[in-house]
Amino acid sequence: MTKRTLGKTGYEIAPVAFGGIINTDETQADADRYVAYAIERGVNYFDVAPTYGNAEERLGAALKPYRKDVYLACKTVLRDAKGAKEELIASLGRLKTDYFDVYQLHSIRNDDDVEKAFSSGGAMETLRWAKEEGIIRAAGITAHSEDHAIKCLDLFDFDSVLYTMYWAAGALRDNGAKLAAAVKAKNVGLLCMKVLAHRSWRDGERKPGDKSWYKPMDLGADGPLALAAMKYCLSREPAALVPPGMFEYFCHMLDHIDEAIANPLSAADIELLKIEADKLGDDEIKLADN
């Protein structure tokens, strides 16, 4: 796979990232196998969080032979400096590393998230300290709100944004357009998640073992839709796409990423996305976009 530059970090990364939640509740042998497969396919950006169950422990052990050759990103959902520092240090231990290539304020959704993180004693104090100390090499955010992501970019010189570039919200509301322009202007690396989201889970539909917070596409029945959704996200010029948290979706994205890049988003793709988005309806799209 042709590598893409992650903004001003200069990191050259594959266009498909490995979401660490893939390893949650898997045996260590399977986690090792998944990571080895990713490495074999050329994947070199791995993203995880302490909120993903035992994913850090599984990923840390699996990545140990490859650590110097990959980029490892982690996150904190805590908004205070003390809690974020403790979480950062604990994550380093579980992931068997002494630094993170990217460390992110996780799940920025509203004014409260921004105000707490950037206030005196807020989590941004930890990110600044860790970057100065070389414990983290780049600082980023993950966001569910376009406006609040842009607000964070105005408050600090972040290196990356991981955003919910959900195709259905894009088809109906042009979701992601403002943020894509903002990161391009500031040379901030963009990564897209919820690429293969279909809709929100309905009552009683989600089963044990479903690792996505949304219902992902049916890779058989929704194959053309999935490809169009990948093209939609790629049209926002990200460095990489992040698949849902199941290994089969990771493999599907790897198998189709070259096709999606070689044949960019077309009018026919846009029409397909709009037709499906209209079927879902705005309320269901809002739920899946959270």
Long-range contacts at 266-270 (CB < 8 A, ≥ 24 apart): 266/231, 269/227, 269/228, 269/231, 269/232, 270/171, 270/228, 270/232
Strands 197-199 and 215-216, bridge-based pairing: antiparallel
What secondary structure does DSSP assign to 110-131, as a single string? Answer: SHHHHHHHHSTTBHHHHHHHHH
Q: 282 falls in which pLDDT band (50, 70, 90)? A: confident
Q: What is the pLDDT of residue 209?
A: 83
Give the integer Cα–Cα distance in Å for 77 and 192: 18
Q: Is the dihedral of CA 231, 235, 239, 245 positive or negative?
A: negative
Q: Is the dihedral of CA 96, 99, 104, 105 positive or negative?
A: positive
Q: Is the pLDDT of residue 288 over 80?
A: no
Give the integer Cα–Cα distance in Å for 119 and 221: 48
Identify the CATH number of the domain defined by range 4-288: 3.20.20.100
CB atoms within 10 A of CB 158: 23
Closest-CA residue to 13 (of 183, 156, 191): 191
Per-residue DSSP letter, 20: G
Closest-CA residue to 75 (of 97, 114, 101): 101
Q: 285 falls in which pLDDT band (50, 70, 90)? A: confident
Percent of the chain, pLDDT > 70?
99
Reported pTM: 0.97
Q: Is the dihedral of CA 7, 9, 10, 13 positive or negative?
A: negative
Q: What is the mean pLDDT of residues 225-250?
A: 97
Report helix angle 81-94 to 55-63, nearest 10.
50
77 and 51 in contact (C-beta within 8 Å)? yes
Q: What is the pLDDT of residue 286?
A: 80
63 and 99 in contact (C-beta within 8 Å)? no
Q: 20 falls in which pLDDT band (50, 70, 90)? A: very high
